[in-house]
Amino acid sequence: MLKDVTDRTQGKPLFVSDELPHYGTVLGELFHKLVPPEPTGKPGRPRKPEQVIDTDLDYATVHKTRQGAQVVKVERKVVHGSEQNILARLEQSPSHIINTAYVERSNLDWRLWDAHLSRKAPTVARSMRWLNAKFSICVACYNLIRPHETLSRGADRIFRPKTPAMAASVSDHQWTFSELLAYPALCQ
């Protein structure tokens, strides 16, 4: 997934995740340089080159401490990059603090819309092809059809339907289901 995201974006995006160590490992594999070791002059196989993480990679984590079901403490930690760079990038985003709220909200929506993605559910996705197709339709509905409350209310608090695609200037209107299902790229 991270490889797909980095292939589709220009430059390096700001990465924020929970403390699952796999994210840091994959980011290190995607954004590194191989630095050859100094020759030792001794016989034998040379040492492997060292992976050095790119200095312009910005990655932060969020750690939530819970008591029961309640979050009592949130700790933010910069893993790669500088805190000043990350805060400057956050100034240009809707959220001005390091958090995982957007991806957590998306994950909740996906689990609500598709029983195969929900936790501890008795459903089983029998075919990856159908699961991918169904998930693609869910993502398209979320971004192209469904207006979002926070995007649709301006300073005057009047509701004007606006989808994430409209907010990102990818589309100039709210799509219909007929328009989505007739779109040629979905049929390929």
For residue range 148-179, list pLDDT tens digits in order.
888 888 788 889 999 989 988 889 999 999 99
CB 32 within 8 A of CB 53: yes
pTM, rounded to two decimals: 0.68
For tokens 């016989």, what's the residue? 43
Alpha-carbon torsion, ordered 167, 171, 175, 179, to 10 deg: -160
CB 130 within 8 A of CB 116: no
For residue range 75-87, list pLDDT tens digits in order.
999 999 888 999 8
Work out whether strand 59-67 and strand 15-17 pair parallel, antiparallel, or are unpaired: parallel
pLDDT of residue 79: 92
Token pair recorded at residue 96: 């001005």
pLDDT of residue 185: 66
- C-alpha span between 178 and 183 (Å, rounded): 9
Domain ranges of the chain: 1-99, 100-188
Instruction: State the DSSP string of 65-133.
Output: EEETTEEEEEEEEEEES-HHHHHHHHHTSS--S---HHHHHHHHHHHHH-GGGSTT-S-----HHHHHH
Return the percentage of the chain with pLDDT > 70, whole number: 98
Residues in the chain where the model's pLDDT stays below 70: 185-188
Phi, psi of 72 (to 5 degrees): -105, -20
